Structure 1
Amino acid sequence: MRALRILLITAVVLGGLFVAADRLLLSYAEQEAAEKVRARQGASGTTEVSIAGFPFLTQVAGKELERVDVTVRGVEASAGGRRMVISEMSAALRDVRLGGGFSSATATTATGTARISYADLAKAVEEDVTVAYGGNGKVKVTGTVDIGGRTLSRSVVSTVSLVDGGTIRVRADEVPGEGIPMLENLIRQKTDFDREISGLPQGMELEKVQVEEGGFVITVTGRNVPLTG
């Protein structure tokens, strides 16, 4: 009986040490991965990495992680050839394969969201144009034009859609002409625009776009997405 008790105590102690070591190495791996992801994407903000599954050491031994959650803030991208910042991108990466020497990692599949604020989007559109939330899933776009020596500013409510798998399209639902010849066309030249989004992590593609009070929320998906390396 005493021998059994000693064996049980030893098992509990060893199990506790294993769990402690597992969690310690997990924390270190998450920090290292976050630094590599941040450097890879050239992010200006913080980067967070969370590795799911237990035990971590067993997954490492098999060189495959079942799920890794990544959040990157301040991702530099471009829209229509102009620099733009994605304020936050979060993704759930599944079946992450670890490379030799653990210097690289690639996710078999990935799903997530990218958030673009109206202020950042405005930097990628024409001058004298502002973009704001218009309510009911639409945006309000304000443009300024010159007609016959007069400067006119008009705001329109616009619908946002995703076309060609990577381009955000903004189109005014209606532009009041007010009896001024060519006014509608001139306003639309300012307020209607397409912006192709590039600079996303390799392997990630735009799936759909939604309009919220804080900005655009874009669903992204991907396959064979490099996490590091």
Structure 2
Amino acid sequence: MRVWRIVLIVVVVLGGLFVAADRIAVSVAQNKAAERAQATQGLDHKPKVSIQGFPFLTQAAFGKLDDVKIKAEDIAAHGDGQSLRIATFNADLHGVKFSNGYRTAIADSADGIAFITYADLSKAAPPGVTVSAAGTSADGKAMVKLTGTIPGIGTKISVLSQVTVRGADTIGLHAQSLPKELTALGLEDTVRQQIDFERQLTHLPSGIALTSVTTTPDGLSVEAGGKHVTLAS
């Protein structure tokens, strides 16, 4: 009986040491991956990388992790001379292969959500244009409300615009209709040049493509996904 008690104590101690070693190893790996992700994606702030599953050491021994989560905040997205701040980007990466001392990380597949506030979207809009919530149209389209004064015309307008994904990294806003008093004067093209616009969402992992956008009371929720996604290189 005494022998079995000693064996049990040894097993418990070794198990505790293994768990401690595993947690230390995963913490080091997460930090290295976050640093490389920041450098690879050109982020101003280091993202949070969380390696899921236990034990980590067993997964690492096979060179592939089942699930890795990443959260990045305050991403300054620049494109075509315009900027658009992404408040948060959360992504789940599946089948992540690490190599080169966790300096390289490529996922078999990934899906994520980028969130953009209306305040940041207004800053990225053409001069004088403000973007606010409008909900969803009867046919399920993501809509926002645009208000502003048209330069050179002096007319203040308020219109509903549809938000759509355009290409792998761009969202666009297009007014459904314009005030009749402006279209009757043949000013539709002039007005649309001031209120219809596109903006790129840059600094997201390579291989990620935007798939859809929905509106919330506080901003836009843009879904993304892809295969062979590079977290770090």
TM-score for the superposition, normalised by structure 2: 0.86
Contact persistence 1:145–1:151 (CA under 8 A): yes
Q: Matched residues in 1 for 2:181 and 2:45: separation?
A: 46
Separation in 2, partners of 1:55, 1:146: 61
How far has the Cα of 1:153 moved from its partner?
Answer: 1.4
Deviation at residue 221 of structure 1 after TM alignment: 0.6
Q: Structure 1 residue 188 and structure 2 residue 192: aligned?
A: yes
Q: Which moved more, 1:118-127 or 1:103-112?
A: 118-127
Q: CA deviation at 1:185?
A: 4.1
Contact 1:111 1:221 in 2 (8 A): yes
Q: Give the aligned residue type for 1:14.
A: L
Q: Which moved more, 1:202-211 or 1:117-126?
A: 117-126
Please list every run of 5 or more consecutive structure 2 residues that lacks an aligned counterpart in the other structure.
137-141
The size of the alignment, in residue pairs, is 227
Q: Which residue of 2 aligns with 1:210?
A: 214
- Residue matched to 2:72: 72
Percent identical residues:
41
SS at match of 2:212: strand
Match of 2:176 in 1: 173
Q: How does 1:51-90 map to 2 (within 5 A)?
A: 51-90=51-90
Which piece of structure 1 moves more, 41-50 or 89-98?
A: 41-50
SS of residue matched to 1:226: strand
**SS of residue matched to 1:17:** helix
Counterparts of 2:101 and 2:176, CA distance in 1 = 55
Aligned residue in 1 for 2:139: none
SS in 2 for 1:102: coil
* CA root-mean-square deviation: 2.2
**Partners of 1:146 and 1:228 in 2: CA distance:** 44
| 3-state SS of 1:216 partner | strand
Unaligned ranges ≥5, structure 1: none
Name the amino acid aligned to 1:158: S
Distance 1:124 1:222, change over 3 A: same
Bigger mean CA offset, 204-213 vs 173-182: 173-182
8 Å CA contact 2:42, 2:203 repeated in 1: no
Question: In structure 2, what is the equivalent of residue 126 of structure 1?
Answer: 126
Q: Is the Cα contact below 8 Å between 1:43 and 1:73 reproduced in 2?
A: no
